[in-house]
Amino acid sequence: MNETTMADEQKGSSLLRLALGAGLLAAAVVGLAVFVPRSRWQAMTAPLRGLSAAPLAAAVTAWAASLWHDVTAPSPPVFDDLRPFDDF
């Protein structure tokens, strides 16, 4: 009998999607870096430079970091097997 879990069956396609998405993102970044002149980048990011020094930006960054810390914290395994119990 071939016993595989659902996670094992879909692991390959999940990694394939992750690799494809990372490749597309890298291609877009390289394309922007090659085709957009540096002076235009500086003009577009000038308003954002002042925003990064604002206390609100620091608070949002700290909040996002705390969320990341909570999500990646070690935790016990979760057993969410929803199959019905067999009555013998």
- pLDDT category of residue 20 using cuts at 50, 70 and 90: very high
Hey, what are 85's tokens? 């119990």
Q: What is the largest CA-CA distance in the chain?
A: 75
Q: Indicate the pTM of the whole model.
A: 0.39
What pLDDT is stored for residue 6 in this prediction?
56
* Tokens of residue 49, six digits: 């430079």
| Domain assignments of the chain as residue spans, ordered by start | 10-71
What residue has token string 């990011």? 45
